[in-house]
Structure 1
Amino acid sequence: MNDSKLSAFLWSVADLLRGDYKQSDYGKVILPFTVLRRLDCVLEPTKAAVRAELAKRKAAGVNPEPFLLKKSGQGFYNVSDLDLKTLMGDQANIAENLRAYLQGFSPSVRDIFESFDFHTQIDRLTKAGLLYLVTEKFANVDLHPNVVGNAQMGMVFEELIRKFAELSNETAGEHFTPREVIRLMVNLLFIEDDEALTKPGVVRSIYDPTAGTGGMLSVASEHLAELNPKARLVVYGQELNPESYAICKADMLIKGEEITNIVFGNTLSADGLPGQKFDYMLSNPPFGVEWKKIEKEIRKEAEQMGYNGRFGPGLPRVSDGSLLFLLHLVSKMRPAAEGGSRFGIVLNGSPLFTGGAGSGESEIRRYMLENDFVEAIIGLPTDMFYNTGIATYIWIVSNRKPAARKGKLQLIDASGFWQKMRKSLGSKRKELSPDHIDDITRLFGQFEEVTRDGVPISRIFESKAFGYRTITVERPEKDAAGKIVLGTKGKGKGKPVPDASLRDTENVPLAEDVETYFEREVLPHAPDAWIDPGKTKIGYEIPFNRHFYVFKPPRPLAEIDAELNSVTTRILDMIGGLTA
């Protein structure tokens, strides 16, 4: 069966639902039924053997599960005497029998249907008089792997997910990352791993802590398979939204992946894969989402575990948890001595510069840069994501930097690399073409400063260039006669009393001597000033846009005057026409 026929069949189910379901709810029926029929077909050849094995092991009084898995030849099984075909023989009891059939699946599969909230859809379809008709539709399509291979089934399933995402911009925004952005990130991750790209039988692991519907993991698997068909990528993920989790887990099941590697829950407050490390990681966490609901758990881990936990470097403000996901991924990196890791994460602009010296955000940036983890930051075009038009950035992070990159950070301005979409989807109006993806990948891989048409698009800096010291500059308090007031007790006795109203701060680049800066920038304007060394703080920020700013001189005044005169003349002519 080809993709278009299969996709058309699955969409024909929508004709049955029209009127009783909103378009954006079609997926709540079609996706779980597609999964159910696929599993139904996969298990059909071993159904009798599994049931016989169950009876045998029960009689022997032993746990049957490992034997049932072996008999089924899959990572799941079903012990019910029912299947979708036999359900058709008892129309009056279709709902009850369908529930019994679902209950016969192994726990990991039941979990998928529970997360889909499929039992609610059974009730809804029953009430609308549609359950038998929909079940019959699916019972009559053959989705066995011999007819529809894993790769084809995965592509069709992904196409359905994408279509349902388009029908609901809310879903698209929260749980769907544009495919071309994922392709770019995957390119950047694999570009320097020659072994994964060429060696037969190589195995790598990849993890997404905000897995959504599994798009990043799927694209990564496909991409590595294209580059090296003999390589194997073992996927892991965690997802908070129940429906997205169900879709992700079902997608992995359809593609033959190990579904126990996909876990449910809040990654930040309850890491579902504790202690595990990965070769590669990808994430598109929600932009600017507060973490107040889980603040207690996060602060407890930070205080009790420090650097032995995930959040030792610092905590960002509660209004934006993006940097918590960054620290979580760092905690999942393999030690460099064991091969290290590389990951890509999509963040908005806030993590680059929000928070002054000593703030949680600045301390996290300091930790990342002083440990030389950040390889590159790529600025993407605006209007790239479904739920926001803001500027976004891909951070490429690694603890196994190539020699040429050590101590360095590459910034790539790809904000001009885009083409207009034929049809906007939510806030997404722009997309990366394959040529754009290749161009950005080359800029990263070549690791050189590049300027095109007088505009810089790739720049390389020392990591410490983004650090600074915030010094506190004090000025003396003076009495009514203009005389400096001196302290009378303690350590300040006999020394000038600082005037809080004249207190100021200066940011001094880490690479520059503080005294030299002070003498050059402060003393000529305030000869009586001094530095309070006890208040000096180290900070880090990455002013991305400033490094790509190109000054454009204003037009000549004569040209501006001529344009103003022309506009004034037109206005006067229009007024004259109205009063004539």
Structure 2
Amino acid sequence: MTPVGFQDKVAFVWRVADKLRGTFKQHEYGSVMLPLLVLRRMDAVLVPTKQAVLDAAAGMTDIGEGQAALLKKKAGHRFYNTSPLTFASLLGDDKNLADNLRTYIRKLSPEAYAVMEAYDFDPKLERLDRAGILYAVIADFADLDLRPSVVSNEAMGYIFEELLRKFSEMSNETAGEHYTPREVISLMVNLLVSGKTAQELTDNPKPVRTVYDPAAGTGGMLMTALHHIKDLNPAAIVNVFGQELNDETWAIAQSDLMMQDTAPERMRNGNSLTADAFPTEKFDYILANPPYGVDWKAYAAPIKDEHTKQGFHGRFGAGLPRVSDGSFLFLQHMLSHMKPTGSRVGIVLSGSPLFSGQAGSGESEIRRWILENDWLEGIVALPDQMFYNTVI
């Protein structure tokens, strides 16, 4: 069920974005609004424990690993901010707002600061200040109530994804840069965690499960799977892992997962196909909606090298699909992360990889390999035009 009221928050941010008109082009709006939304959410999450963090940090001359662990404990989260300022108090010094906001961001813990760095936000802050609209924008965000008691983590995920959809439409991004509707994610998770698999979860007093998404986007699939497993067995320990190529999308996923007590190192930034962040890990549940119809020629060299030199000891032993669509590369990558005792794998594909390629081609050999290993359980056809920014 869609969280109540999330559209109001989306509409609020959309109205604030209108202040950028004339200073930023429309396709740049997302690169300003999204990092400010992440920053405001972190600000709201940390308010209840802010004074405890400041008291603990007051006697620290340097923040090493031990001190950081203490500050995270005081914050009650996997991140903290040692700045005494908040979004509200930043407005008390309008003449030095830009400098104070920069300092506020630099005082974030390293993991949270890395999220803001991924947005390359400082040049945008400079432009906002130079145009004389920084105060108005920050004042609006200070009025946006994003406390967890008001906006749940699930609702926050919906807000981010809806804004990403709107901003990506404005920037006319390619069809491969789409986001998965929550209804499709719920269907996938229900298919993966059902029957015998679900029964094992409920029968075990404290099961431990791992979930992996190699094209994680904003982390929606990981969070939906985590919540579904927890609904089946509240005592379950669920460890989620993900990797995302797009810096800004990764930043959203990273911030969301940190706020839900997931270790930052489990959400990695980079290309899963050429730089697998979890090469030796095996997972219980693996699900993804990788970009389809996207050319992989630009990073073909390491993939072809792995296919030629490692064969079935690597990830792409079954074959290589045509360079115009890397979907089957992701599928092979996902299958390589299955446990020897068995895992559940779900992937969203366009219809093309199911039929393209003549006998003996890369696609045909990959399909044959999957069928011969008896890994295919079912195919679910979805209606067309369900996905953002694509007619598929």
TM-score (ref. length: structure 2): 0.86
Mapping 1:464-543, distance limit 5 Å: none
Unaligned stretches of 5+ residues in structure 2: none
Matched residues in 2 for 1:173 and 1:142: separation?
A: 33
State the distance in 2 between where 1:72 and 1:157 align.
Answer: 24
Deviations 1:25-67 (A, max 9, x none): 4333332222212211222333343344335453798752222
Shift of 1:229: 5.0
Could you give the per-residue CA deviations for residues 136-163 of structure 1, whole angstroms, max 9, x where no partner exists? 2222444332444434444444443444
State the partner residue of 1:13. Answer: 16
User: How far apart, CA to CA, are the structure 2 residues paired with 1:163 and 1:221?
Assistant: 26
For 2:377, the equivalent position in structure 1 comes to 375
Letter in 2 for 1:212: G
Q: Deviations over 1:186-232 (max 9, x none)?
A: 22112222233675643422211111222322333444455555545
User: Are the equivalent residues in 2 in contact too, given 1:173–1:385 (CA < 8 A)?
Assistant: no
What number of residue pairs does the alignment pair up? Answer: 387
Matched residue, 1:202: 207
Distance of 1:232 and 1:8 partners within structure 2: 36
Choose from 171, 178, 188 the match for 2:191. Answer: 188
Tell me which moved more, 48-57 or 127-136. 48-57
Partner of 1:248: 253
Offset of residue 75 of structure 1: 0.4
Residue 69 (str. 1) matches residue 65 (str. 2): no
State the distance in 1 between where 2:202 and 2:174 align: 34
Residues 300/366 of structure 1: CA separation in 2 closer, same or farther (3 Å cut): same
Q: What is residue 405 of structure 1 aligned with on the other side? A: none
- 1:185 partner amino acid: M
**1:299 equivalent in alignment to 2:304:** yes
* Shift, 1:96, TM fit: 1.6
Give the root-mean-square deviation of aligned CA atoms: 2.9
| Alpha-carbon shift at residue 184 of structure 1 (Å) | 2.1
CA shift in 2, pair 1:189/1:116, >3 Å: same
- Look up the match of 2:128: 125
Question: 1:280, 1:342 within 8 Å by CA — same for their partners in 2?
Answer: yes
Deviations 1:92-111 (A, max 9, x none): 22112111111111121112
Instruction: List runs of 5+ in structure 1 lacking aligned partners.
Output: 391-580
Give the one of 107, 110, 115 matched to 2:110. 107
Q: 2: CA distance between counterparts of 1:246 and 1:60?
A: 23
Q: State the one-letter code of the partner of 1:352.
A: L
Who is 2:349 aligned against? 347
Would you say the 8 A contact 1:157–1:251 is kept in 2? no
Equivalent residue number for residue 265 of structure 1? 270
- Flag the 1:258–1:127 CA change in 2: closer, same or farther, 3 A: same
Quick check: which has more Rg, 1 or 2?
A: 1
Judged with a 3 Å threshold, the aligned counterparts in structure 2 of structure 1 residues 203 and 11 are, in CA distance, closer, same or farther, namely farther
**Which structure is higher in RCO with an 8 Å CA cutoff and minimum separation 6?**
2
Q: Aligned partners of 2:272, 2:54: CA distance in 1, in Å?
A: 38
- More strand per residue: 1
Corresponding residue for residue 150 of structure 1: 153
Q: Measure how far apart 1:238 and its partner are.
A: 1.0
TM-score w.r.t. length of structure 1: 0.60
Question: What is the aligned-residue identity percentage?
Answer: 53
The answer as to whether partners of 1:175 and 1:213 remain within 8 angstroms in 2 is no
Equivalents in 1 of 2:367, 2:359: separation in Å? 10
| Secondary structure of 1:307's aligned partner | helix
Relative to structure 1, the CA distance from residue 157 to residue 356 in structure 2 (aligned partners, 3 Å threshold; closer, same or farther) is closer
Deviation by residue 1:431-452 (Cα, 9 ceiling, x = unmatched): xxxxxxxxxxxxxxxxxxxxxx
Aligned pair 1:214/2:219, yes or no?
Answer: yes
Cα 1:232–1:61 change in 2 (3 A) is closer
**Alpha-carbon distance in structure 2 between the residues aligned to 1:11 and 1:200:** 45
User: Which of 304, 325, 328 is residue 330 of structure 2 equivalent to?
Assistant: 325
| Residues 290 and 59 of structure 1, relative CA distance in 2, 3 Å threshold | closer
Describe the SS at the equivalent of 1:296: helix
2:54 equivalent to 1:44: no
CA distance in 2, matches of 1:30, 1:92: 22
Check the 8 A contact 1:108/1:260 in 2, yes or no: no
More helix by share: 2
Secondary structure of the 2:349 match is: strand
Matches within 5 A, 1:524-563: none
> How far off is 1:165 after superposition?
4.6
- C-alpha separation between the residues in 2 aligned to 1:361 and 1:160? 35
